[in-house]
């Protein structure tokens, strides 16, 4: 697999709001880093530039941000089937439906929280994009990069993109888990 880390600046006013937010690591601070409009632009570009026949998982652990990310995904990847959101409060029926759509549709995009880190086997997953790095967990990172490496019929190399808002806690966490 190929891992690419994208350090993305925040608009000055947003970064100032991030810096003023206390305590450090608060939910508000995390949401500001996740929903950085420059980061969302990079996500849109990645989804548009990824070959249209690819399967893509977008990971975000902060469930409160998933709905906003769903709008970005739908806007950026209209030629793909949007498989939905897979998170802790997704019903069993919706999880089953999500997995069926992912397995049945070649060009698709799914949004996942940490609930999608393990026990999901998806043939031919090509790309993983992380938009939320909420801790330095090496185990979580290994689980996520392992998703596209399992059961890939063509044995093609997968691409893992990690999007981090520069100057935030995300940079420190990514540095820690890749050391």
With beta carbons less than 8 A apart as the criterion, state whether 75 and 44 touch: yes
Cis amide prior to 14 (ω within 30 degrees): no
Task: Give the tokens for residue 5.
Answer: 């880390």
Report the pLDDT value the prediction gives residue 178, as an integer from 0 to 100.
65
Residues of the chain above pLDDT 70, percent? 80
Q: Which two tokens stand for residue 82?
A: 């949007």
3-state secondary structure the chain: CEEEEEEECCCHHHHHHHHHCCCCCCHHHHHHHHCCHHHHHHHHHHHHHCCCCCEEEEECCCHHHHHHHHHHHHHHCCCCEEEEEECCCCCHHHHHHHHHHHHHCCCEEEEECHHHCCCCCCCCCCEEEECCCCCCCHHHHHHHHHHHHCCCCCCCCCEEEEEEECCCHHHHHHHHHHC
CA–CA distance, 58 with 161 (Å, rounded to integer): 9
pLDDT for 154: 59
Work out the pLDDT band at 84, boundaries 50, 70, 90: confident
pTM, entire model? 0.86
Supply the Cα-derived Rg of the chain in whole angstroms. Answer: 16
pLDDT band at 12 (very low <50, low <70, confident <90, very high): very high
Contact 98, 119 (CB under 8 A): no
Residue-wise pLDDT for 116-142, tens only, equals: 776 677 777 888 899 987 765 555 565
pLDDT of 129: 92
Mean pLDDT over residues 18-31, rounded?
88
Q: If you count them, how many residues does the chain have?
A: 179
Please check the confidence at residue 97 and state whether its pLDDT lies above 80: yes
Whether 167 has a pLDDT exceeding 70, the answer reads: yes
Q: Which tokens in the block code for residue 140?
A: 């979580």
Q: Which pLDDT band, with edges at 50, 70 and 90, does 60 fall under?
A: very high
CA distances in angstroms from 57 to 72, 73, 129, 153, 176, listed in the order given: 13, 11, 6, 17, 23
Give which of 173, 164, 161 is closest to 132, Cα–Cα: 164
pLDDT for residue 100: 86
């Amino acid at each position: 697999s190929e891992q690419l880390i994208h350090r993305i600046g925040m608009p000055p006013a947003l970064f100032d709001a991030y810096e003023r937010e206390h305590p450090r690591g608060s939910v508000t601070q995390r949401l500001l880093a996740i929903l950085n409009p420059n980061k969302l632009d990079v996500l849109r570009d990645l989804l548009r530039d990824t070959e249209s026949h690819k399967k893509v998982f977008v990971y975000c652990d902060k469930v409160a941000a998933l709905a906003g990310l769903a709008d970005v995904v739908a806007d950026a990847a209209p030629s793909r089937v949007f498989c939905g959101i897979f998170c802790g409060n997704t019903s069993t029926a919706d999880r089953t439906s999500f997995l069926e759509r992912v397995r049945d549709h070649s060009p698709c995009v799914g949004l996942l929280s940490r609930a999608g880190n393990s026990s999901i086997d998806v043939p031919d997953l090509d790309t993983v994009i992380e938009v939320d790095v909420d801790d330095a967990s090496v185990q979580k990172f290994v689980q996520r990069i392992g998703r596209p490496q399992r059961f890939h019929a063509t044995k093609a190399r997968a691409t893992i993109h990690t999007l981090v808002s520069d100057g935030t806690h995300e940079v420190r966490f990514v540095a820690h888990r890749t050391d």
